[in-house]
Amino acid sequence: MSGILDSVDSRTQLVGENRLEILTFRLHGNQQYAINVFKIQEVLPLPNLTLIPHRHPHVCGVIHLRGATLPVIDLSAAIGMRPIQPDEKCTIIVTEYNRSVQAFLVGGVSRIINLNWEDILPPPQGSGRQNFLTAITRIEDKIVEIIDVEKVLAEITPYNTDVSDDVLDPEVMQYAEGLEILLVDDSTVAIAQATDTLEKIGIKVTSRSDGLQALRHLQELVSSGVSPPEKYLMMITDAEMPSMDGYRLTTEIRNDPKLKDLYIILHTSLSGGFNKAMVQKVGCDDFLSKFQPDLLADAVQQRIKDCKLT
């Protein structure tokens, strides 16, 4: 099992090529679920579990791993299915999202699959656990459901979208009225979080749920005689999205003479060091780790200063 995440270097070459790798796993029965390999630190059998008082119903307990204490989240229960009974047959997937590390309890892992983002589709409209899906794909004629982990984590520990008083600059905010940002993210939770923070500055937000939708929107603006770099103060985009990821979206924008001057911030839960290198490769103007309201507000206000006060 320890070898399932080997060859990290080969996987990093996929980013920027509109490709990704997912780790598939089971919760109950034969239905396959998945998350992006880049979010995963390791996969291992469930270690000794310590119960803690007053824990969230979806948190099984904590484990001690390599000097750190990590919560173990029952992923099945978290997405509205029956809980998994923790025992020696269970597997945990240790992940890092939004600068936090946690383990997800699953029934068992299957394999890593290399895909094109064009093969990743938005989830069908519906109820129940569909609300916890960020995308689906088809592998060997079977549907694989990709979990919206950001939504799972937000249900357990709600994010704070408030901006500190000492971060907000009244002089800058007076110029924010009428300004607009294009926000691109496949997670409804991430869209809501960022929108709430941006609206506190006075910014209007237009959103799209994947890179292909965003690119078509920008191209439609150009066709109607509107210049996207003039309409939008900036575009804030996630990295991982169905149909077209944020890296390819940025590349397509930089290759279009009528779009290339659009200011772009990569806003993602993927690891900071890795993304800083990718920012330079594809041509983003800045990078922010999710979700830090003060840093997001500061980056937007700095852009306003550069545009309005210089």
**Do residues 14 and 86 both lie within one domain?**
yes
* Pick from 226, 211, 30: nearest CA to 110: 30
Confidence category of residue 127, pLDDT binned at 50, 70, 90: very low
Would you call 170 exposed, middle or buried from its count of C-beta atoms within 10 A (0-12, 13-18, 19+)? Answer: exposed
Per-residue pLDDT, averaged over 13-23, amounts to 72
Range of the domain at 238: 170-308
Confidence category of residue 7, pLDDT binned at 50, 70, 90: very low
**Do residues 8 and 102 both lie within one domain?**
yes
* Pick from 66, 31, 17, 62: nearest CA to 136: 31
**Do residues 232 and 285 both lie within one domain?**
yes
**Do residues 207 and 270 both lie within one domain?**
yes
Residue 186, pLDDT > 50, answer: yes
**Do residues 51 and 197 both lie within one domain?**
no
Share of the chain above pLDDT 70, in %: 88
Answer for the pair 32, 139: CB distance below 8 angstroms, yes or no.
yes
Residue that terminates a domain, selected from 93, 128, 156: 156
The tokens describing 258, both together, are: 């009528």
**Do residues 292 and 183 both lie within one domain?**
yes
Number of domains in the chain: 2
Q: pLDDT tens across 54-76, in order? A: 899 999 999 999 889 999 999 99
Q: Assign residue 267 a region: left if phi > 0, alpha if psi is -120 to 50, beta otherwise?
A: beta
Report how far residue 282's alpha carbon sits from residue 271's, in angstroms, rounded to the nearest whole number. Answer: 16
Q: pLDDT tens across 40-50, in order? A: 889 999 999 99
- So what's the pLDDT on residue 124? 76
Answer for the pair 242, 218: CB distance below 8 angstroms, yes or no.
no
Per-residue pLDDT, averaged over 282-293, amounts to 86
First to last CA, the chain: 56
Predicted TM-score of the model (pTM): 0.80
